[in-house]
Amino acid sequence: MSIRNFRLVNQLGAAYLAVLTVVSGLGGALVATTWIRADVAALPGTILWCLALMAAALVTAPAQPLRMGLLCLAWLLSGLLMFASAMGFYTAVLEARGKRVEATVTQVRDGREKGRHLYYALADLEGTRIPGELSVWPGAEIGASHNPEGEVGARVTVIRDPEGLVDPRLPDDVDGSVAVPIWLVVFTMTAVACMLAGRPLRAKPVVRRPRETSETGRGRARRRRRKRRLRQS
């Protein structure tokens, strides 16, 4: 196929993209709320992620997807899109209505993830509990073995949601200039994979071979031509 005839945007790819984007967006928004604890959010997120692949495959039902390998690639990228959507959701909420407050740690618990990961219940200086939990202590880094940890009674500055929809976050973790580009990059990668998965397959050219004539058939044709010549003469 020549570059001139190459068309990336197609209807089936757009349908794939719509399904994966909607499911990833809803899943990301759901796991970013205080309704689901951060250490168990992986389970409902994984279920929604698997449902996204099933929904995308049903777009072409009852036929099978034309390019299943590329569709699976788009589905894998949609997992990153769900993570980016969660990040974008809590960032948007906290930037829109979040309040910067001094909080006190009232309880510390170790999550269910593999390894040590502490979660902190907080209260404001008046003693009112802040909905949700703080999942990262200031100065901690992902993957580091000796991260700083808080304790009951320690104070920390966070941005909280007055409505209690999302967990409190450290001020450095609420940055729309970082969350938006990440989401756009992952969305673009997912969109390209979806469009490639939706491209129609090229029809294989049918090569017709000439019908072979047996030697006996050729001899008969020659005799017929000779008889015609004799009759004409």
Tokens found for residue 221: 């044709």
pLDDT tens track for 25-64: 999 999 899 998 887 888 888 888 888 888 888 887 777 6
Tens place of pLDDT per residue across the chain (233 aa): 444 445 678 888 999 999 999 999 999 999 899 998 887 888 888 888 888 888 888 887 777 677 888 999 999 999 999 999 999 999 999 999 999 999 999 999 987 777 678 899 999 999 999 999 999 999 887 666 677 889 999 999 999 999 999 999 999 999 989 999 999 999 999 999 999 998 887 756 656 666 555 555 666 777 777 777 777 76
Whole-angstrom CA distances from 149 to 107, 111, 146, 152 are 13, 14, 9, 10
Q: How would you classify residue 61: left for phi > 0, otherwise alpha for psi between -120 and 50, otherwise beta?
A: beta
DSSP string, 130-199: EEEEE---TT--TT-SS-----TT-EEEEEE-TT-SB--B-GGG--HHHHHHHHHHHHHHHHHHHHHHHS
Q: Domain extents for the chain?
A: 11-198
Distance from C-alpha of 52 to C-alpha of 78, rounded to nearest angstrom: 9
